[in-house]
Amino acid sequence: MRCFGIFVLTLAFGCGVLAADVTVTYLGHSCFTIQQESGPIVMLDPYGAAIPYPALPVPADIVLITHDHIDHCPSCYGEWDRVEGNPIRVRLLDKDGRCKEKIPPNVWLITEEFKTSAIEGTHENARGGGVGNVCMFSFEIGDIRFAHLGDLGSILNLDQMTALSDVDVLFIPVGRAFTLDAAEAMTVIAQLPSVKIAIPIHYNVPGITPWPDIAPLSDFTNLAELMGTVRNTGQSSIVLTPSALPDATEIWILDYAR
């Protein structure tokens, strides 16, 4: 494992790679890989073996970890084999469970090709589920701005809305028990009008999800369909380009990779 040496970016820094197709692959639960053509593979929140989606392990160059629970950080529990290769693991929760934010400029330079912002959010929800905090990540790949909210448990405050105000593609938890519920997730999406594609995560999949209190995806999609466009892609990978993003916010459902 390579350790992440923290460098604070104080000047504007270009990605060094021209815009090209960006492939987003859903590996299950809250885990995705994102890669621009020939660029590094960025993975978000891999899960431990106790969450038996079939996709992992797969290779990654950079792994972003929103918080230390087993379904988001298996390496925190000694499961180093869930990600192939020798990735840089970016874990920004400090010993007190707070997100190591840098404001301004709140930007961490991970490699010459990749930088990310980190925004603290609470894992605790209004129903007493969840515990501690999460580091929500916001970053740009191929001229598309992504944000992953981890196990966010409450709607956004003004500072969080400002920090996430330029996001194009949003990964948002919807499963209620430990995170946002369906109505709260729709509120967060409405708080971020820049979002073109919102992708739900952290919901119950029968036979896989080990926590029965987590709500099924249908609780979210039934509500979302009343309020806007819901597109079931029928696939685990999508290819995005800035010019082909929807004009208005859409909910996209991805199947998990097998």
CATH number assigned to the domain comprising residue 198: 3.60.15.10
Q: Report the number of distinct structural domains present in the chain.
A: 1
12-30 tens-digit pLDDT: 233 334 567 999 999 999 9
Residue 212: C-alpha distances to residues 58, 110, 129, 215, 216 (Å):
27, 37, 13, 8, 9
Range of the domain at 129: 22-253
What's the pTM?
Answer: 0.91
Does the residue 158 lie in any domain?
A: yes
Does the residue 2 lie in any domain?
A: no
How many Cβ atoms are within 10 Å of 85's Cβ, its own excluded? Answer: 13
82-121 tens-digit pLDDT: 999 999 999 999 999 999 987 656 799 999 999 999 999 9
Does the residue 225 lie in any domain?
A: yes
